Amino acid sequence: MTEQQDPYKEIRPYHDDEVADVLTKILHNNEFLTAVTQYQFPKMADKFGWLLKPFVRIALAAKVGEVESVYDFQMLVANYMKKMIARSTTKLTCSGIDLLDPEESYLFISNHRDIAMDPAFVNWVRHQFGMDTVRIAIGDNLLRKPYVSDIMRLNKSFIVNRSATGREMMKALTQLSSYIDHSIVNGHSIWLAQREGRAKDGNDATDPAILKMLYMAHRKARSFPEQVKRLNIVPVSISYEYDPCDYLKANELHAKATEGSYEKSQYEDIASIVKGITGNKGHVHVAFGDPIEADFDSPEALAEEIDRQIIENYHLHSSNLLAAGQSADISDEQKKGFEERIGQVAGGAQEILRQMYANPVINQKKIQEPS
C-alpha cells in the first residue's frame, strides 16, 4: 500500500495482517528478551541470562502462537489485566457508561494520572460492557525502544510525535488531527489525555492547545463548533484511591520547587509505567461524562466545559477527603493507610503529597459553589 493509500502508516496501530510479522520481530529482539528474562528471573538473569533467554523465547512464542489479529492480542492482554486488577485494586467501579451508545464512536478526553493504566481502565470497563476497545494516543517520548513501540501499536495505540520541531511539528500535528477525525468517522473510539503529561499535583486541567490540534486539519472544511460535534467528545474522570507513583511525583515537584528543576533519568517513564501497573491502587473509579453537544466557539470555552465535567464527575476517595481535612465516616484503617502514604516521603514533599490528594476536593468545591 502506498503512502497516499495509507497516510497514517507511521503513527497508526498495526492492522491484523501485520500482527504475525510484528510478533516475530518482537520475539527475536534481544533487548526485549533480556528485559523479560530479568523480570521473570531477577536473581538468575545476570549470571544465567544467556541460558534462560532461549527458554523464555519458546515460552512466549507458545503464548502468542494463536494470536493472529489485534483482537487476539488484546484478549491476551485482557488475561493479564484481570490478574492485575485482582492483585492491585480493592475495587473497580464505573459510572455513566450505560448512557453511551455501544454503536457510536467517541473521542474520550480524559484526565491523566497514570501513563498506562488510565486508558487501560477505560478499555477494561468498555470490554466488560461488550463495547469495542479504544485507540490510544501515546507520546513518542515513551517509545524510545522499538519493541515497546511495537507492543503498544499491537494494543491499538497510535503515536503522538512530541519530538518534532518547526515545520515538522506542524506537519505532525496536522497528521494527528486528521487521523483522530478519520478514526471517529470510521467507527473507532479514541482515548486522548486532556494535557501533555500527567497531572502530578492533582489538578486536572485541559490544555486548549490539545483542542486546537483537533481542528488543525479541518479549518477549510468546517467551523470549530461543527468539528467538535463531529468528534463526539466525552470527558472522562479516572480516580485512584492510591496513586502508586504518588511519592515519585511528590519528590519531583519538591525538587522543582526547591532546586528549580528536575532531571529525569533515561528510563524513568518506563519505571513509572511498571510501578503504575503493579502498585497498590485501592479503589479505582472510571466516570464517563455526557457527550458534548453544545456549540463552543473557541478551544478555551470547550476546555472549560471538559474541565467542569471531569472535576464534577471525579469520584472522591477516603484519601482525597482525609487530605482535605474531612475525616467524618472514614475508618481508622483508612486513616492509617493514608498516613502511611504520606510517610513515604520526607520534609516538604509530605505537604506536596497531601495537597496532591486534596486538590480534587478543593476543585470540586469551587465548581459546585455558585459564582
Residue 315 neighbours by CB under 8 Å, 6+ apart: 93, 95, 237, 239, 285, 287
Please answer whether residues 81 and 75 qualify as being in contact, where contact means their C-beta atoms are separated by less than 8 angstroms. no
Residue 5's pLDDT is 86
Burial class (CB in 10 A: 0-12, 13-18, 19+), 286: buried
- Classify the C-alpha dihedral 24-26-30-36 as positive or negative: negative
Residue 75's pLDDT is 96
Please answer whether residues 309 and 144 qualify as being in contact, where contact means their C-beta atoms are separated by less than 8 angstroms. no
Per-block mean pLDDT, blocks of 10 residues, the chain (371 long): 80 98 95 86 85 92 94 95 97 97 97 97 98 97 89 97 93 97 98 96 98 97 97 98 97 95 84 91 98 97 98 98 95 95 96 98 91 61
Residue 3's pLDDT is 60
- For residue 121, being part of any structural domain is answered with yes
- For residue 27, being part of any structural domain is answered with no
Residue 70's pLDDT is 98
Please answer whether residues 254 and 350 qualify as being in contact, where contact means their C-beta atoms are separated by less than 8 angstroms. no
Residue 243: CB atoms within 10 A of its CB come to: 28
Nearest to 229 by CA among 287, 298, 296, 133: 296
Residue 26's pLDDT is 96
Which residues share a beta bridge with 137?
158
Residue 201's pLDDT is 97
Strands (E), 142-271: 157-160, 190-193, 233-240
Dihedral angle over CA of 134, 91, 292, 129, nearest 10: 50
Nearest to 196 by CA among 212, 179, 178: 212
Residue 299 neighbours by CB under 8 Å, 6+ apart: 208, 209, 211, 212, 215, 224
Q: For residues 111 and 285, give the distance between their C-alpha atoms in angstroms, rounded to a whole number.
A: 12
- For residue 203, being part of any structural domain is answered with yes
- For residue 213, being part of any structural domain is answered with yes
Give pTM, 2 decimals.
0.94
Please answer whether residues 137 and 160 qualify as being in contact, where contact means their C-beta atoms are separated by less than 8 angstroms. yes
Q: For residues 194 and 306, give the distance between their C-alpha atoms in angstroms, rounded to a whole number.
A: 9
State the CATH number of the domain containing residue 142: 3.40.1130
- For residue 336, being part of any structural domain is answered with yes
Strands (E), 227-274: 233-240
Domain that holds residue 189: 69-368
- For residue 96, being part of any structural domain is answered with yes
- For residue 33, being part of any structural domain is answered with no
First to last CA, the chain: 56
Residue 238's pLDDT is 98
Residue 169's pLDDT is 95
- For residue 152, being part of any structural domain is answered with yes
Q: Which uninterrupted H or E stretch holds 263?
A: none
Could you tell me the maximum CA-CA distance found in the chain, to the nearest angstrom? 68
Residue 274's pLDDT is 87
**Cα 210 to the chain's mean position, in Å?**
15
Q: Is 70 helix (H, G, I), strand (E, B) or coil?
A: helix
Please answer whether residues 199 and 111 qualify as being in contact, where contact means their C-beta atoms are separated by less than 8 angstroms. yes
Strands (E), 229-340: 233-240, 282-288
How many structural domains comprise the chain?
1
